[in-house]
């Protein structure tokens, strides 16, 4: 397991153990008014009962997020918009309308976190429910993290272990339809 995946897993476990999203945890840190790493870590341990390692990782995460971006989860230290613009630059720029339509439709489900990575964005509630990013200059792939669905020609089952259980290839905004959104909604509901 690489370091970034290990940190992602630890952050997901922190959300599970505290029963709070990363956004809620960051709000707690900001509301505390504390600025020194050790003080914030000790407050998280004292007030939320976090272990030393979890509290330390969360402080690093919040400080990186606060200093570099308004958006949580930006692995690159960039805002969600800036990171997404980089993902959809050059030959992949024409895919941005598909991405925007997907995110707009998913936003109607309720609250979730967009965590930009180098080549895709991770969509999270208490855990990741989907991934969206260009797979080539001609299509986006939507990873869906949901068990219990039946694969098909369109809903492609992925060999496990993988970051998601299924993927759907999308090459046109018209393919952001009720069927695709229903699969994502199931994963969204399951992740919260």
| pLDDT tens sequence across 144-192 | 998 888 999 999 999 877 788 999 999 999 999 999 999 999 999 999 8
Same domain for 56 and 103, yes or no, is no
Same domain for 64 and 113, yes or no, is no
This prediction's pTM = 0.61
Boundary-marking domain end, from 44, 68, 92: 68
- With respect to residue 47, please indicate whether it lies within any of the assigned structural domains: yes
Inter-residue contact 25 to 66 (CB < 8 Å):
no
Boundary-marking domain end, from 17, 46, 68: 68
- With respect to residue 177, please indicate whether it lies within any of the assigned structural domains: yes
Residue 162 is part of which domain span? Answer: 80-190
- Of 94-98, 99-103, 121-125, 158-162, least confident by mean pLDDT is 158-162
Same domain for 184 and 129, yes or no, is yes
Same domain for 156 and 103, yes or no, is yes
- With respect to residue 138, please indicate whether it lies within any of the assigned structural domains: yes
DSSP sequence for the chain: --HHHHHHHHHHHHHHHHT--HHHHHHHHHHHT--SHHHHHHHHHHHH---HHHHHHHHHHHHHHHHH-SSTT-TTSS-HHHHHHHHT-GGGGGGHHHHHHHHHHHHTT---EEEE-SSSEEEESSSEEEEEEEEETTEEEEEE--SS----SSSEEPPSSSS-SEEEEE-SGGGS-HHHHHHHHHHHHHT-
Same domain for 88 and 174, yes or no, is yes
Q: What total number of domains does the chain contain?
A: 2
**Both tokens assigned to 95:** 């895919």
- With respect to residue 73, please indicate whether it lies within any of the assigned structural domains: no
- With respect to residue 129, please indicate whether it lies within any of the assigned structural domains: yes
Same domain for 132 and 92, yes or no, is yes
Same domain for 56 and 118, yes or no, is no
Boundary-marking domain end, from 68, 94, 111: 68
Same domain for 121 and 55, yes or no, is no
Same domain for 138 and 63, yes or no, is no
More confident site: 4 or 83: 83
Same domain for 109 and 156, yes or no, is yes
Q: Mean of the pLDDT values across residues 106-122?
A: 88
């Amino acid at each position: 397991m690489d370091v970034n995946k290990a940190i992602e897993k630890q952050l997901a476990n922190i959300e599970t153990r505290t029963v709070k999203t990363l956004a809620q945890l960051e709000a707690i840190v900001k509301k505390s008014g504390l600025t020194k790493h050790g003080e914030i870590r000790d407050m998280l341990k004292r007030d939320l009962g976090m272990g030393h390692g979890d509290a330390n990782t969360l402080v690093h995460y919040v400080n990186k997020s606060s200093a570099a971006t308004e958006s949580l989860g930006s692995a690159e230290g960039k805002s969600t918009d800036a990171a997404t613009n980089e993902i959809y630059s050059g030959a992949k720029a024409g895919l941005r309308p598909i991405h925007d339509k997907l995110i707009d439709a998913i936003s109607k489900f309720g609250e979730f976190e967009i965590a930009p990575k180098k080549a895709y964005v991770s969509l999270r509630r208490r855990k990741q429910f989907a991934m969206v990013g260009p797979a080539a200059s001609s299509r986006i792939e939507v990873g869906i993290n949901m068990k219990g669905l039946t694969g098909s020609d369109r809903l492609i089952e992925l060999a496990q272990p993988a970051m998601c259980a299924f993927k759907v290839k999308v090459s046109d905004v018209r393919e952001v339809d009720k069927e695709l959104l229903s699969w994502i909604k199931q994963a969204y509901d399951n992740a919260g």
